[in-house]
Amino acid sequence: MDFNFISFLHPAFWIKAITLIAIGFYIIFTFVVFTQVKVMAQILSLPHAGTVLKTISIIHIILAISLFVMAIVIL
Amino acid sequence: MTDIFVAPKHIAFPDDPKHMGIFSSFSQNPEGVSFQTQKPHETIILFLRSHFVTNLSWIIIGLMLISFPIIILMFIPKLGIDFLSSPSASRFTTVYALFYYLIVFSYIFISFLHWFYNVFIVSSERVVDIDYSDIVVHNLAITNLSHIEDVNYTQSGFIPTLFNYGDLFVQTAGNEKNFEALSVPRPREATHIIGDLIEKK
């Protein structure tokens, strides 16, 4: 008989699920930041700034996705 | 007897474009700066954003947020708490610590963007006010120089006087929106530049 469903009752499972949902929302937020930086770079063109800020935003997205993957693996 | 009223210095309008630093808050004839609706013959006379000193609050808060977990980790062994010894607790702590630092990074990055993209531009034809008030809100307001009725500034307080920054107000005719550039450096000079441009129009 399979008792795996009992893992749903374990608090660690719910903590992991909530953590993953929170990081998931954070990933969406990082995409919003990137979109906004892209829009502002179109509205106002400043020397070197657009490229630098877009690169930082992309690094931000990569870090958030990496954290999500890391949380899935180690939690 | 010497005259106690000193006339303001003549504000020059250098024709040659000047290189603008990435963190510059006051730039006349900046080189390489343009905005979306700029016309081909339109040149930027003055570029303003808040003085860099106004960033000190979020820089200090950011540094405090960065050092906060480090301080806690230093004090935990002294308090005799040993919650990091179990493998599952240390895994959760690692993930939460990294998540915390990502959120702190977001706070710092967004605060910087808020300062960086709150810009006031005076071109040869118009005044452009770009507001980046929130991560999902930005506002762009434009008016022709001929619609401007009055330009004034206020500079009050110890720190604004020390670092020579203040609030610049541009009043427009009729029902058009009034413009304001808050905490901009050298507000007196900026007021004179806009005033001279209006007179020329």
From chain A, the residues in CB contact with B106 under 8 A are 29-30, 33, 60
Answer whether B136 touches A (CB < 8 Å).
yes
B30 vs B17: CA distance, rounded Å: 6
Amino acid at B101: Y
pLDDT at B107 over 60: yes
Task: Name all contacts of A44-48 with Cβ < 8 Å and 24+ positions apart.
Answer: A44/B33, A44/B34, A44/B35, A44/B36, A44/B117, A44/B119, A44/B130, A45/B32, A45/B33, A45/B34, A45/B35, A46/B20, A46/B22, A46/B32, A46/B33, A47/B19, A47/B20, A47/B22, A47/B31, A47/B32, A47/B33, A48/B22
Q: How far apart are CA A8 and CA A14, in angstroms?
A: 7
Considering only CB atoms, A32 lies closest to which of B88, B136, B140, namely B136
Side chain identity, residue B144: N
Q: For chain A, report the end-to-end CA distance as a whole number of angstroms.
A: 26
Percent of chain B with pLDDT over 70: 90
- How confident is residue B16, by pLDDT bands cut at 50, 70 and 90? low
In order of A11, A75, B3, B13, the CA distances from A15 in angstroms are 6, 9, 76, 62
Buried b (16+ CB within 10 A) or exposed e, B124-135: ebbbbbbbbeeb
Interface residues of chain A, partner chain B, Cβ below 8 Å: 12, 15, 19, 22-23, 26, 29-30, 32-33, 36-37, 39-40, 42-49, 52-53, 56-57, 60, 63-64, 67, 70-71, 74-75
| Res. B4 pLDDT band, cuts 50 70 90 | low
Of A46, A53, A64, Cβ closest to residue B102: A64
Interface of B with A in 96-135 (CB under 8 A): 96, 98-99, 102-103, 105-106, 109-110, 113, 116-117, 119, 130, 132, 135
- Across the A:B interface, residue pairs with CB atoms under 8 Å apart total 85
Torsions phi, psi for B38 (to 5 deg): -65, 135
Model pLDDT for residues B139-178, shown as the tens digit of each residue: 788 888 888 888 999 999 999 999 999 999 999 887 777 8
Q: Tell me the DSSP string of B129-140.
A: EEE--SSS--EE
In chain A, where are the structural domains located?
13-74
Contacts of B92 in chain A (CB under 8 A): 15, 19, 75
pTM for the whole thing? Answer: 0.85
pLDDT reading at B1 higher than 50: no
Which runs of E-coded beta strand occur in B7-135? 18-19, 26-28, 30-31, 34-35, 44-49, 119-123, 126-131
Q: Name the residue facing B135 among A19, A23, A33 (closest C-beta).
A: A33
Contact (CB<8Å) A36/B136 = yes
Q: Which of B6, B52, B9, B17 is nearest to B124 (CA)?
A: B17
pLDDT at B113: 94
ipTM: 0.88
CATH number for the domain running over B43-49+119-200: 2.30.29.30
pLDDT of residue A23: 97
The domain locations on chain B are 43-49+119-200, 56-113
Window B:5-44, CB contacts with A under 8 Å: 19-20, 22, 31-36
What per-residue confidence (pLDDT) applies to A59? Answer: 97
pLDDT digits (tens, 9 = 90+) for A28-74: 999 999 999 999 999 998 888 889 999 999 999 999 999 999 999 99
- Using CA atoms, how far residue B140 sits from A40, A63, B108, B169, in Å, is 10, 31, 24, 16
Tokens 């770009």 identify what position? Answer: B130
Please judge whether A42 and B36 are an interchain contact, meaning their C-beta atoms are less than 8 angstroms apart.
Answer: yes
